[in-house]
Structure 1
Amino acid sequence: MSENHLSENHQSDNHAPDNQLPESRAVDPRRFARRTRDVWVTAALVAGIVAIFLTSLALAPRSDAPEGEAFPGTDAVVTDTLSQGGVEPWFEPIFEPGSSEVESGLFALQAALGAGVLGYALGNLRGRRAEREQPHTVDR
């Protein structure tokens, strides 16, 4: 094979010359700027969340509750307030966890299941939209 034939073959395979990137690999400045902006926005949001978390820990009230809870739940506060006012509960709980650790674990399990269902639903909706926006081609 001649060197000319190889260079023609090289160019006919849609390879770019050595000093240029192929069009599919070229960097779009607008896309790069948007990605850079997205990275900064994400970093700022994460920093804001961390700042809120640290501020709440620094300003947290000290534990005055008998059980050592700095943030008693609203259910416990309302139950205590109502029982002091002479109100009797209408129903008894169906299931009472043996300890606060079991209760926390059940709550975490409930949150994880809810997040899984929500993630599935959002992913399914996104897939449907992507399928609708994709041009349909007929294979022959």
Structure 2
Amino acid sequence: MKNTLLLAFVILLAIIPFYIHRDSEFGGADGQAEEAIQEIAPEYTPWVQALWEPPGGETESLLFSLQAAIGSLVIGYVIGFGRARKKYSNNAESK
């Protein structure tokens, strides 16, 4: 029951901002940084260029989501491995 309530709360936290700010554009930090740099120093030129530009916003979102999923899997594995190792080392010591 407790986990279900927590899951519902997390889902609501993710959905509510879209209803509160219906006509807002949720842009990324890269675009905001680029605009700020252009305001502060319009003559600035980047040092390097991107090796590859994704063909569209959807591809960029897909790659970002994939990166987040892989990171979550790695973190989950490390936490799970640590908990299992602690559990089984405690069981071995008690025998």
Give the TM-score band, short-chain normalised: 0.7 to 0.9
The answer on 1:83 being equivalent to 2:49 is no
- Give the 4+ runs in structure 1 shifted more than 3 A: none
Distance 2:62 2:18 in 1: 22
1 or 2 for the larger relative contact order (CA 8 Å, sep ≥6)?
Answer: 2
1:100 to 23, 44, 57: 57
The TM-score normalised by the length of structure 2 is 0.78
Structure with larger Rg: 1
The answer on 1:74 being equivalent to 2:29 is yes
**Which has more helix, going by share of residues?**
2
Structure 1 stretches of 5 or more lacking a match? Answer: 1-38, 64-69
Distance 1:47 1:123 in 2: 24
Task: Say what the alpha-carbon RMSD is for the aligned residues.
Answer: 2.0
Structure 2 stretches of 5 or more lacking a match? Answer: none
The TM-score normalised by the length of structure 1 is 0.56
How many correspondences in the alignment? 92
